[in-house]
Structure 1
Amino acid sequence: MSENSFSNASVLVVGGAGFVGSNLVHMLLQQDVREVVVVDNLLSSDVSNIPADKRVRFVFGSITDDRILAGLPEDLDYAFHLACFHGNQSSIADPFADHDNNTYTSLKLFERLKNIRSLKKVVYAAAACAVAEKTYDAPTATTEDQPVTLYHDSPYSISKIIGELYGNYYFQRHGLPFVKARFSNVYGPREVLGAGQWRGTVHTVWRNVTPTFIWRSLNGEALPLDNGGNASRDFIFVEDMARGLMACALKGERGGVYNLATGRETTILDLATYINEFTGNATPLDLRPARDWDRSGKRFASTEKAEKDLGFTAQVDIREGLGRTVEWTVANRELIARSISKHDKLMAQVN
């Protein structure tokens, strides 16, 4: 197997039934891998995302399960740790579940992987939001050496930082070939609203802003804009994210950290406007006050290091990506509707 290729590689994808993980698995299968082991407890993912390919072995359960850890192949070449308790609002509602599915998963997995000597890279899904400056003024690009605050908006943000810290420890103490891939806001096909189990809040269904806006827009609803939609994010298409993760595995420096982003800022107001344009939704936008817990404001990430060291640049711009995501949502409307409907009674009780 070449150091610059996944050909004939044995790959572990923890969280491989999820939105990002499944896109990564599909892309790895195009690289002539030998096998992909997908571990997922389907807490916030859908089994339909797992490709029917003889090279894929699906293991249902949490990566914290000692039986599952013991059964991992001893000849793994690459591991991607993408499992998490999605997302900020769910972690605020249940910090203990966030700990079990974010912090504890990282510790258990890294402890197991330190003994697999064939590993070339372990890529961890870190979060750029956990290090980004909190501002509503003109933002500057978040760099990889951005200072990390001790004050965070959510347990999710905290646990993502702890995952980085544990990975750094295992890299220094045990030589784990650990690489941190800091995610910007990912969107695109295979993000199924309501996928998985009820997690105590309506955010079990209404997750990231992009799929929520697309679904509501397709149904002719008013898109809600917290703080008037003046917050901004760096939105990266999921196929670009998968390519970035693969670049981290093949070219990332052991112990290194890389932003996977576009380097471009898009306001939530612009996002809503684009989506309504693609769906033909003429319902006026719903302007609301800011969320009481959220001080994240405006942000985008620096792409300089990833371009220089990994040769990675995002290829899909926001308008193309949104158009493709709207098309996928329309094509999978029945699947999404079923996924949402299984939570309807519980959402009604919360509301």
Structure 2
Amino acid sequence: MSDTTTLKNAKILIVGGAGFVGCNLCRHILDKHDPKEIWIIDNLLSSEISNVPEDSKVNFIFGSVADDRVLAKLPDDLELVFHLACYHGNQSSIADPIADHDNNTITSLKLFDHLKESKNLKKIVYAAAGCAVAEKTFEDPTATSEDAPVSLFHDSPYSISKLVGEMYGNYFWNRHGLPFVKARFQNVYGPREILGAGSWRGTPHTVWRNVIPTFIWKSLNEEALPLDNGGNASRDFIFVEDMAKGLVGCAQEGQPGEAYNLASGVETTIKDLATYINELTGNKTSVDLKPARDWDRSGKRFGATLKSKEKLNFSATVSIKNGLAKTVDWTKKNRELINQSIEKHEFMINQFSS
């Protein structure tokens, strides 16, 4: 297409670039798109500096985009921005709604306001949350489309703040012409998601954050995998390499003001997920059946993929079983790194369990 935005020789900012998705995106861009330079801003609240690629094109700034001194360090001729930073996870936001506000809502507002007069900016891609617009059901779900209705009742501050970020971006697009594109994430997994990355955030879910790295770690240690609601919940799992390609697709082909699902379109139950992982690791320990989480009303969900396929030419290509195999392999090779990350929170975890 003649209006395709190119990443070649571009100045790019990745907010949250030391995080799991951000560092994989950074590597993908370096490997496939030959940028001029990549700037990363990250406060390392839920990420590790070891994730930042050592490359002469990468410039790292420690801090938050809510800090004017950090924003002042950025070049004024940025062409592409990926805003991936967030206060990681529903349960951390439930434990500390104020911290969620400070790291999800204020950060988005400050960044958009800073970029509103930018003359060189071609796209800003925002990591929106598919869970925030998904139907709340434990019955048979339908694929969540980009124009799904938005409820005013939500399960977590995280869900609320991600929607507020969309709304602020929409405002700056309408008012100032900010080239704002919404990438609606489903459940991302894959290599470089380090359990316990960053600082303590008031809950054991600082460590046990997402289901796949948690299950893989416990399975490798021959522990019982905990199945909330008997494992009947389901999610749309998308491999991080596919997510990086989808984010680039949003930057290249996404239209300002529009939302695009980055999804596999495949519904996988947590029970099946546990079975796949235990088979890969050889874990024979029986699963641990638990009741449904008291805060979570979104039992089953998956994303519609048609719009992204037609408008971005994006489709996820890595199957759940192949993606899990790659993730298990990475986890085995990085057990020492992950164990060190978990151990730094051991005292606080023991305080919560005692």
The correspondence for 2:279, drawn from 264, 274, 277, is 277
> Aligned partner of 2:289: which letter?
L
Q: Distance in 1 between matches of 2:90 and 2:230?
A: 20
- Unaligned runs of at least 5 residues, structure 1: none
Q: Which structure 2 residues correspond to residues 1-351 of structure 1 after superposition, within 5 A?
A: 3-30=4-31, 31-351=33-353
By how many angstroms is 1:5 displaced? 2.6
Does the Cα contact within 8 Å between 2:5 and 2:122 map onto a contact in 1? no
Q: Deviations over 1:270-311 (max 9, x none)?
A: 000000000000000101110111111110000000000000
By how many angstroms is 1:4 displaced? 4.2
Does the Cα contact within 8 Å between 2:180 and 2:257 map onto a contact in 1? yes
Q: Distance in 1 between matches of 2:52 and 2:350?
A: 30
Helix, strand or coil: the match of 1:245? helix
Q: Distance in 2 between matches of 1:315 and 1:163?
A: 29
Q: Deviations over 1:316-348 (max 9, x none)?
A: 000000000000000000000000000000110
Q: Deviations over 1:58-106 (max 9, x none)?
A: 0000111101112211111100000000110000000000000000000
Helix, strand or coil: the match of 1:326? helix
TM-score by length of 1: 0.99
Q: Distance in 1 between matches of 2:252 and 2:29?
A: 12
Q: Deviations over 1:243-291 (max 9, x none)?
A: 0000000000111100000111000000000000000000001011101
Helix, strand or coil: the match of 1:258? strand
TM-score by length of 2: 0.98
Q: Distance in 2 between matches of 1:307 and 1:41?
A: 34
Q: Distance in 1 between matches of 2:168 and 2:218?
A: 39
Q: Distance in 1 between matches of 2:148 and 2:4?
A: 30
Q: Deviations over 1:14-63 (max 9, x none)?
A: 00000000000001112100000000000000111100000000000011
Does the Cα contact within 8 Å between 2:38 and 2:59 map onto a contact in 1? yes
RMSD: 0.7
Q: Distance in 1 between matches of 2:182 and 2:286?
A: 41
> Aligned partner of 1:9: which letter?
A
Q: Distance in 1 between matches of 2:215 and 2:340?
A: 18
Does the Cα contact within 8 Å between 2:10 and 2:35 map onto a contact in 1? yes
Helix, strand or coil: the match of 2:300? coil
Helix, strand or coil: the match of 2:260? strand
> Aligned partner of 2:16: which letter?
G
Matched length: 350
Q: Deviations over 1:129-181 (max 9, x none)?
A: 00000111111000000000000000000000000000000000000000000
By how many angstroms is 1:3 displaced? 4.1
> Aligned partner of 1:193: which letter?
L
Helix, strand or coil: the match of 1:13? strand
> Aligned partner of 1:243: which letter?
K
> Aligned partner of 2:304: which letter?
S
Helix, strand or coil: the match of 2:307? helix
Does the Cα contact within 8 Å between 2:219 and 2:277 map onto a contact in 1? yes
Q: Distance in 2 between matches of 1:150 and 1:3?
A: 36
Sequence identity of aligned pairs in percent?
67
- Unaligned runs of at least 5 residues, structure 2: none
> Aligned partner of 1:97: which letter?
A
> Aligned partner of 2:347: which letter?
K
Helix, strand or coil: the match of 1:249? helix
By how many angstroms is 1:117 displaced? 1.1
Q: Distance in 2 between matches of 1:4 and 1:149?
A: 33
